[in-house]
Structure 1
Amino acid sequence: MAGAPSPMDGALSAHHRKKQPEQVRRALLDCAAQIAAEGGAAAITIQAVATRAGVTKGGLLHHFDSKQALLAAVFADLLDKMDQEIDRTLADDPVARGRFTRAYVQACFSDRLLGEHSLWGALSVAIVSEPALRSLWSAWLDDRMARHGETDGDPELVAVRLAADGVWLADMMEKADGLRRYPQDFETVLLAMAGA
Protein backbone atom coordinates (compact mmCIF):
# COMPACT_ATOMS: atom_id res chain seq x y z
CA MET A 1 0.00 0.00 0.00
CA ALA A 2 1.65 3.20 -1.15
CA GLY A 3 2.20 5.91 1.45
CA ALA A 4 1.36 3.73 4.48
CA PRO A 5 4.24 3.48 6.93
CA SER A 6 5.51 0.01 7.65
CA PRO A 7 6.60 -1.11 11.12
CA MET A 8 10.18 -0.91 9.87
CA ASP A 9 9.77 2.80 9.07
CA GLY A 10 9.23 3.57 12.76
CA ALA A 11 12.19 1.44 13.79
CA LEU A 12 14.37 3.11 11.21
CA SER A 13 13.29 6.60 12.14
CA ALA A 14 13.82 5.84 15.82
CA HIS A 15 17.20 4.33 15.01
CA HIS A 16 18.26 7.24 12.83
CA ARG A 17 16.80 10.11 14.81
CA LYS A 18 19.25 12.38 16.54
CA LYS A 19 19.87 11.33 20.14
CA GLN A 20 19.03 13.97 22.75
CA PRO A 21 20.02 12.41 26.07
CA GLU A 22 19.53 15.57 28.17
CA GLN A 23 16.00 16.07 26.83
CA VAL A 24 15.17 12.41 27.49
CA ARG A 25 16.60 12.62 31.01
CA ARG A 26 14.60 15.82 31.67
CA ALA A 27 11.42 14.18 30.38
CA LEU A 28 12.00 11.14 32.61
CA LEU A 29 12.47 13.36 35.68
CA ASP A 30 9.39 15.42 34.85
CA CYS A 31 7.25 12.32 34.26
CA ALA A 32 8.44 10.71 37.50
CA ALA A 33 7.63 13.93 39.37
CA GLN A 34 4.13 14.03 37.84
CA ILE A 35 3.51 10.42 38.82
CA ALA A 36 4.71 11.09 42.37
CA ALA A 37 2.49 14.17 42.67
CA GLU A 38 -0.50 12.16 41.46
CA GLY A 39 0.01 8.94 43.40
CA GLY A 40 2.90 9.33 45.84
CA ALA A 41 6.45 8.05 45.60
CA ALA A 42 5.22 4.45 45.67
CA ALA A 43 3.51 5.05 42.30
CA ILE A 44 6.88 5.66 40.65
CA THR A 45 7.79 2.47 38.83
CA ILE A 46 10.26 1.99 36.01
CA GLN A 47 7.43 0.91 33.68
CA ALA A 48 5.08 3.75 34.63
CA VAL A 49 7.73 6.42 34.08
CA ALA A 50 8.98 4.86 30.84
CA THR A 51 5.44 4.61 29.48
CA ARG A 52 4.56 8.19 30.39
CA ALA A 53 7.83 9.51 28.91
CA GLY A 54 7.38 7.45 25.74
CA VAL A 55 10.64 5.53 26.10
CA THR A 56 11.45 1.88 26.63
CA LYS A 57 12.36 0.49 30.04
CA GLY A 58 15.85 -0.02 28.64
CA GLY A 59 15.95 3.64 27.61
CA LEU A 60 15.02 4.68 31.14
CA LEU A 61 17.56 2.30 32.68
CA HIS A 62 20.23 3.83 30.46
CA HIS A 63 19.74 7.08 32.41
CA PHE A 64 18.80 5.67 35.84
CA ASP A 65 19.91 2.15 36.71
CA SER A 66 17.20 1.55 39.34
CA LYS A 67 14.01 2.96 40.81
CA GLN A 68 16.06 4.23 43.77
CA ALA A 69 18.42 6.10 41.41
CA LEU A 70 15.44 7.64 39.62
CA LEU A 71 13.81 8.63 42.92
CA ALA A 72 17.07 10.17 44.14
CA ALA A 73 17.39 12.13 40.88
CA VAL A 74 13.81 13.41 41.19
CA PHE A 75 14.53 14.47 44.77
CA ALA A 76 17.84 16.13 43.81
CA ASP A 77 16.00 17.98 41.03
CA LEU A 78 13.38 19.13 43.53
CA LEU A 79 16.11 20.35 45.89
CA ASP A 80 17.68 22.25 43.00
CA LYS A 81 14.35 23.96 42.29
CA MET A 82 13.99 24.78 45.99
CA ASP A 83 17.52 26.21 45.94
CA GLN A 84 16.61 28.46 43.02
CA GLU A 85 13.41 29.59 44.74
CA ILE A 86 15.30 30.35 47.95
CA ASP A 87 18.03 32.22 46.07
CA ARG A 88 15.41 34.43 44.34
CA THR A 89 13.82 35.19 47.72
CA LEU A 90 17.23 35.92 49.28
CA ALA A 91 18.04 38.39 46.51
CA ASP A 92 14.87 40.38 47.28
CA ASP A 93 15.40 40.52 51.07
CA PRO A 94 17.53 43.50 52.18
CA VAL A 95 17.81 42.42 55.86
CA ALA A 96 20.74 40.07 56.45
CA ARG A 97 19.74 38.58 59.84
CA GLY A 98 17.29 35.73 59.26
CA ARG A 99 17.28 36.12 55.46
CA PHE A 100 17.78 32.40 54.80
CA THR A 101 15.23 31.44 57.47
CA ARG A 102 12.57 33.66 55.91
CA ALA A 103 13.31 32.26 52.45
CA TYR A 104 13.17 28.72 53.87
CA VAL A 105 9.79 29.34 55.53
CA GLN A 106 8.40 30.75 52.29
CA ALA A 107 9.68 27.74 50.35
CA CYS A 108 8.16 25.34 52.89
CA PHE A 109 4.76 27.02 52.55
CA SER A 110 4.87 27.62 48.79
CA ASP A 111 2.92 24.56 47.63
CA ARG A 112 0.94 23.60 50.75
CA LEU A 113 -2.35 24.50 49.09
CA LEU A 114 -1.72 21.81 46.46
CA GLY A 115 -2.40 19.28 49.23
CA GLU A 116 -2.01 15.72 48.01
CA HIS A 117 -0.72 16.99 44.65
CA SER A 118 2.30 18.66 46.23
CA LEU A 119 5.48 16.99 45.03
CA TRP A 120 7.14 17.74 48.39
CA GLY A 121 4.21 16.02 50.09
CA ALA A 122 4.50 13.06 47.77
CA LEU A 123 8.20 12.62 48.42
CA SER A 124 7.97 13.22 52.17
CA VAL A 125 7.28 9.61 53.02
CA ALA A 126 10.14 8.52 50.77
CA ILE A 127 12.53 10.82 52.66
CA VAL A 128 11.72 8.93 55.85
CA SER A 129 12.18 5.49 54.31
CA GLU A 130 15.02 6.05 51.80
CA PRO A 131 18.51 6.59 53.31
CA ALA A 132 19.81 8.08 50.04
CA LEU A 133 17.13 10.79 50.12
CA ARG A 134 17.87 11.57 53.77
CA SER A 135 21.55 11.93 52.83
CA LEU A 136 20.68 14.32 50.00
CA TRP A 137 18.50 16.39 52.35
CA SER A 138 21.18 16.48 55.07
CA ALA A 139 23.89 17.48 52.60
CA TRP A 140 21.66 20.25 51.22
CA LEU A 141 20.88 21.58 54.69
CA ASP A 142 24.53 21.36 55.80
CA ASP A 143 25.59 23.32 52.72
CA ARG A 144 22.98 26.00 53.31
CA MET A 145 23.90 26.36 56.96
CA ALA A 146 27.59 26.62 56.08
CA ARG A 147 26.67 29.49 53.77
CA HIS A 148 24.15 31.18 56.08
CA GLY A 149 25.28 30.19 59.57
CA GLU A 150 26.51 33.68 60.39
CA THR A 151 23.14 35.30 59.64
CA ASP A 152 20.83 32.40 60.51
CA GLY A 153 22.57 30.37 63.23
CA ASP A 154 20.73 32.09 66.09
CA PRO A 155 18.73 29.51 68.13
CA GLU A 156 15.53 31.54 67.63
CA LEU A 157 15.93 31.26 63.85
CA VAL A 158 16.70 27.55 64.12
CA ALA A 159 13.43 27.21 66.08
CA VAL A 160 11.52 29.01 63.30
CA ARG A 161 12.93 26.63 60.69
CA LEU A 162 12.08 23.64 62.88
CA ALA A 163 8.53 24.99 63.24
CA ALA A 164 8.27 25.20 59.43
CA ASP A 165 9.53 21.60 59.27
CA GLY A 166 6.87 20.68 61.84
CA VAL A 167 4.12 22.14 59.67
CA TRP A 168 5.53 20.22 56.71
CA LEU A 169 5.54 17.02 58.79
CA ALA A 170 1.99 17.66 60.02
CA ASP A 171 0.85 18.11 56.43
CA MET A 172 2.50 14.81 55.52
CA MET A 173 0.92 12.94 58.43
CA GLU A 174 -2.48 14.58 58.55
CA LYS A 175 -3.15 15.46 54.91
CA ALA A 176 -6.08 17.94 54.79
CA ASP A 177 -6.20 18.27 58.59
CA GLY A 178 -2.75 19.84 58.54
CA LEU A 179 -4.13 22.92 56.78
CA ARG A 180 -7.02 23.08 59.24
CA ARG A 181 -4.77 22.86 62.29
CA TYR A 182 -2.02 25.08 60.88
CA PRO A 183 -3.65 27.45 58.38
CA GLN A 184 -1.68 28.97 55.55
CA ASP A 185 -1.46 32.29 57.41
CA PHE A 186 0.74 30.51 59.99
CA GLU A 187 3.50 31.36 57.50
CA THR A 188 3.05 35.03 58.47
CA VAL A 189 3.56 34.15 62.15
CA LEU A 190 6.82 32.32 61.40
CA LEU A 191 8.07 35.10 59.13
CA ALA A 192 7.38 37.63 61.90
CA MET A 193 9.33 35.46 64.34
CA ALA A 194 12.20 35.46 61.83
CA GLY A 195 12.22 39.25 61.76
CA ALA A 196 10.26 39.88 58.58
Structure 2
Amino acid sequence: MDSKAKLKRKHILQSATTFILTVDFQSLTLDAVAKEAGVSKGGLLYHFPNKEELLKGLALHIFEQFIELFDSYAAKDDDEYGKWCRAYIQASREDLEHNAALNVGVMSATLLQPVYIQSMSYSYSYMLRKMEEDGIDPSIVSIIRLTIDGMYYSVLYKIEPLQKELLDEVMTRLMNMTRKGMNEN
Protein backbone atom coordinates (compact mmCIF):
# COMPACT_ATOMS: atom_id res chain seq x y z
CA MET A 1 0.00 0.00 0.00
CA ASP A 2 1.19 3.49 -0.76
CA SER A 3 2.26 5.74 2.07
CA LYS A 4 0.25 8.84 2.93
CA ALA A 5 2.93 11.03 1.33
CA LYS A 6 2.82 9.04 -1.92
CA LEU A 7 -0.96 9.19 -1.99
CA LYS A 8 -0.90 12.96 -1.39
CA ARG A 9 1.73 13.42 -4.11
CA LYS A 10 -0.39 11.36 -6.53
CA HIS A 11 -3.47 13.40 -5.60
CA ILE A 12 -1.61 16.64 -6.32
CA LEU A 13 -0.45 15.32 -9.71
CA GLN A 14 -3.98 14.19 -10.58
CA SER A 15 -5.28 17.60 -9.52
CA ALA A 16 -2.69 19.33 -11.71
CA THR A 17 -3.80 17.08 -14.58
CA THR A 18 -7.45 17.99 -14.00
CA PHE A 19 -6.56 21.68 -13.89
CA ILE A 20 -4.69 21.51 -17.19
CA LEU A 21 -7.47 19.59 -18.91
CA THR A 22 -10.28 21.84 -17.63
CA VAL A 23 -8.56 25.24 -17.71
CA ASP A 24 -5.34 25.21 -19.74
CA PHE A 25 -1.65 24.62 -19.43
CA GLN A 26 -0.65 28.29 -19.61
CA SER A 27 -2.65 29.07 -16.43
CA LEU A 28 -0.88 26.39 -14.40
CA THR A 29 0.58 27.89 -11.22
CA LEU A 30 1.46 26.38 -7.86
CA ASP A 31 -1.39 28.37 -6.28
CA ALA A 32 -3.88 27.07 -8.85
CA VAL A 33 -2.78 23.46 -8.32
CA ALA A 34 -2.92 23.81 -4.52
CA LYS A 35 -6.47 25.16 -4.81
CA GLU A 36 -7.50 22.39 -7.24
CA ALA A 37 -6.02 19.75 -4.91
CA GLY A 38 -7.58 21.27 -1.81
CA VAL A 39 -4.21 21.56 -0.06
CA SER A 40 -2.32 24.51 1.31
CA LYS A 41 0.43 25.98 -0.81
CA GLY A 42 2.87 24.84 1.91
CA GLY A 43 1.50 21.30 1.56
CA LEU A 44 2.06 21.42 -2.17
CA LEU A 45 5.57 22.88 -1.72
CA TYR A 46 6.44 19.97 0.58
CA HIS A 47 6.02 17.62 -2.39
CA PHE A 48 6.96 20.01 -5.20
CA PRO A 49 9.22 22.87 -4.04
CA ASN A 50 8.78 24.79 -7.31
CA LYS A 51 6.94 24.71 -10.62
CA GLU A 52 9.86 22.95 -12.33
CA GLU A 53 9.60 20.04 -9.88
CA LEU A 54 5.84 19.92 -10.40
CA LEU A 55 6.36 19.74 -14.17
CA LYS A 56 8.97 17.02 -13.70
CA GLY A 57 6.53 15.10 -11.51
CA LEU A 58 3.79 15.55 -14.11
CA ALA A 59 6.04 14.35 -16.92
CA LEU A 60 6.99 11.22 -14.98
CA HIS A 61 3.36 10.67 -13.93
CA ILE A 62 2.15 10.95 -17.54
CA PHE A 63 4.69 8.44 -18.81
CA GLU A 64 4.00 6.04 -15.93
CA GLN A 65 0.29 6.15 -16.73
CA PHE A 66 0.96 5.63 -20.43
CA ILE A 67 3.21 2.62 -19.72
CA GLU A 68 0.51 1.15 -17.45
CA LEU A 69 -2.06 1.63 -20.22
CA PHE A 70 0.33 0.13 -22.80
CA ASP A 71 1.00 -2.90 -20.57
CA SER A 72 -2.70 -3.38 -19.81
CA TYR A 73 -3.68 -3.45 -23.48
CA ALA A 74 -0.94 -6.00 -24.18
CA ALA A 75 -2.04 -8.16 -21.23
CA LYS A 76 -5.60 -8.34 -22.65
CA ASP A 77 -4.40 -9.40 -26.12
CA ASP A 78 -4.35 -13.19 -26.64
CA ASP A 79 -2.62 -13.01 -30.02
CA GLU A 80 1.12 -12.80 -29.35
CA TYR A 81 1.92 -11.72 -32.91
CA GLY A 82 1.76 -7.94 -32.96
CA LYS A 83 0.23 -7.51 -29.50
CA TRP A 84 2.75 -4.89 -28.35
CA CYS A 85 2.26 -2.82 -31.50
CA ARG A 86 -1.51 -3.06 -31.04
CA ALA A 87 -1.10 -2.05 -27.39
CA TYR A 88 0.94 0.98 -28.48
CA ILE A 89 -1.67 1.96 -31.06
CA GLN A 90 -4.55 1.53 -28.61
CA ALA A 91 -2.82 3.36 -25.77
CA SER A 92 -1.82 6.18 -28.11
CA ARG A 93 -5.33 6.47 -29.48
CA GLU A 94 -6.82 6.68 -26.00
CA ASP A 95 -4.15 9.16 -24.97
CA LEU A 96 -4.63 11.35 -28.05
CA GLU A 97 -8.41 11.36 -27.58
CA HIS A 98 -8.39 12.14 -23.84
CA ASN A 99 -5.07 13.62 -22.75
CA ALA A 100 -3.51 15.32 -25.75
CA ALA A 101 -3.75 18.81 -24.22
CA LEU A 102 -2.09 17.66 -21.01
CA ASN A 103 0.70 15.75 -22.71
CA VAL A 104 1.41 18.46 -25.23
CA GLY A 105 1.59 21.09 -22.50
CA VAL A 106 3.96 19.08 -20.36
CA MET A 107 6.04 18.00 -23.36
CA SER A 108 6.42 21.54 -24.63
CA ALA A 109 7.34 22.86 -21.16
CA THR A 110 9.93 20.14 -20.66
CA LEU A 111 11.19 19.72 -24.19
CA LEU A 112 14.68 21.04 -23.66
CA GLN A 113 15.29 19.78 -20.13
CA PRO A 114 17.76 16.86 -20.19
CA VAL A 115 16.24 15.17 -17.13
CA TYR A 116 12.82 15.01 -18.80
CA ILE A 117 14.24 13.86 -22.11
CA GLN A 118 16.08 11.03 -20.34
CA SER A 119 12.89 9.91 -18.58
CA MET A 120 10.83 10.05 -21.79
CA SER A 121 13.57 8.25 -23.69
CA TYR A 122 13.65 5.42 -21.15
CA SER A 123 9.87 4.91 -21.34
CA TYR A 124 9.86 5.16 -25.12
CA SER A 125 12.74 2.67 -25.42
CA TYR A 126 10.86 0.20 -23.22
CA MET A 127 7.86 0.33 -25.55
CA LEU A 128 9.98 0.08 -28.69
CA ARG A 129 11.83 -2.97 -27.37
CA LYS A 130 8.49 -4.66 -26.69
CA MET A 131 7.19 -3.76 -30.16
CA GLU A 132 10.35 -5.10 -31.78
CA GLU A 133 9.68 -8.48 -30.08
CA ASP A 134 6.30 -8.79 -31.82
CA GLY A 135 7.53 -10.78 -34.82
CA ILE A 136 6.42 -8.01 -37.18
CA ASP A 137 8.73 -6.74 -39.91
CA PRO A 138 10.84 -3.95 -38.33
CA SER A 139 9.88 -1.55 -41.12
CA ILE A 140 6.18 -2.00 -40.21
CA VAL A 141 7.00 -1.34 -36.54
CA SER A 142 8.79 1.85 -37.64
CA ILE A 143 5.84 2.93 -39.79
CA ILE A 144 3.49 2.48 -36.81
CA ARG A 145 5.80 4.31 -34.42
CA LEU A 146 6.56 7.21 -36.74
CA THR A 147 2.90 7.64 -37.73
CA ILE A 148 1.89 7.95 -34.09
CA ASP A 149 4.83 10.25 -33.37
CA GLY A 150 3.59 12.44 -36.21
CA MET A 151 0.11 12.56 -34.70
CA TYR A 152 1.55 13.82 -31.42
CA TYR A 153 3.75 16.38 -33.15
CA SER A 154 0.81 17.70 -35.18
CA VAL A 155 -1.04 18.28 -31.90
CA LEU A 156 2.06 19.73 -30.20
CA TYR A 157 2.74 22.23 -32.98
CA LYS A 158 -0.93 22.69 -33.95
CA ILE A 159 -0.20 21.63 -37.51
CA GLU A 160 -3.45 20.17 -38.81
CA PRO A 161 -4.14 17.54 -36.13
CA LEU A 162 -6.30 14.73 -37.49
CA GLN A 163 -10.04 15.04 -37.09
CA LYS A 164 -11.77 12.12 -35.37
CA GLU A 165 -12.98 10.35 -38.54
CA LEU A 166 -9.54 10.40 -40.14
CA LEU A 167 -7.88 9.47 -36.85
CA ASP A 168 -10.19 6.45 -36.64
CA GLU A 169 -9.31 5.42 -40.21
CA VAL A 170 -5.56 5.75 -39.64
CA MET A 171 -5.69 3.83 -36.36
CA THR A 172 -7.72 1.05 -38.01
CA ARG A 173 -5.16 0.75 -40.79
CA LEU A 174 -2.31 0.67 -38.28
CA MET A 175 -4.10 -2.06 -36.31
CA ASN A 176 -4.52 -4.08 -39.53
CA MET A 177 -0.77 -3.87 -40.11
CA THR A 178 -0.24 -5.81 -36.86
CA ARG A 179 -2.17 -8.91 -37.96
CA LYS A 180 -0.54 -11.88 -39.64
CA GLY A 181 -0.96 -11.83 -43.39
CA MET A 182 -2.08 -8.20 -43.42
CA ASN A 183 1.37 -6.64 -43.87
CA GLU A 184 3.10 -8.97 -46.28
CA ASN A 185 4.13 -7.85 -49.78
TM-score, normalising length: structure 1 = 0.75
Can you list the C-alpha shifts for 1:95-117, whole angstroms capped at 9, x where unaligned? 3232211111111111434487x
Q: Bigger radius of gyration, 1 or 2?
A: 1
CA distance in 1, matches of 2:147, 2:25: 25
TM-score, normalising length: structure 2 = 0.79
After superposition, the CA RMSD in angstroms is 2.7
Q: 1:11-160 counterparts in 2 under 5 A?
A: 20-114=4-98, 118-151=101-134, 154-160=138-144
Identity over the aligned pairs, expressed in percent? 24
8 Å CA contact 1:98, 1:157 repeated in 2 = no
Query: Where does the alignment leave 5 or more consecutive residues of structure 2 unmatched?
Result: 181-185
Compared CA separation, residues 25 and 90, structure 1 to 2 (3 A):
same
Query: Where does the alignment leave 5 or more consecutive residues of structure 1 unmatched?
Result: 1-18
- Is 1:162 paired with 2:146? yes
8 Å CA contact 1:28, 1:50 repeated in 2 = yes
1:195 to 174, 179, 182: 179
Can you list the C-alpha shifts for 1:72-125, whole angstroms capped at 9, x where unaligned? 212212222212211121112233232211111111111434487x42243332
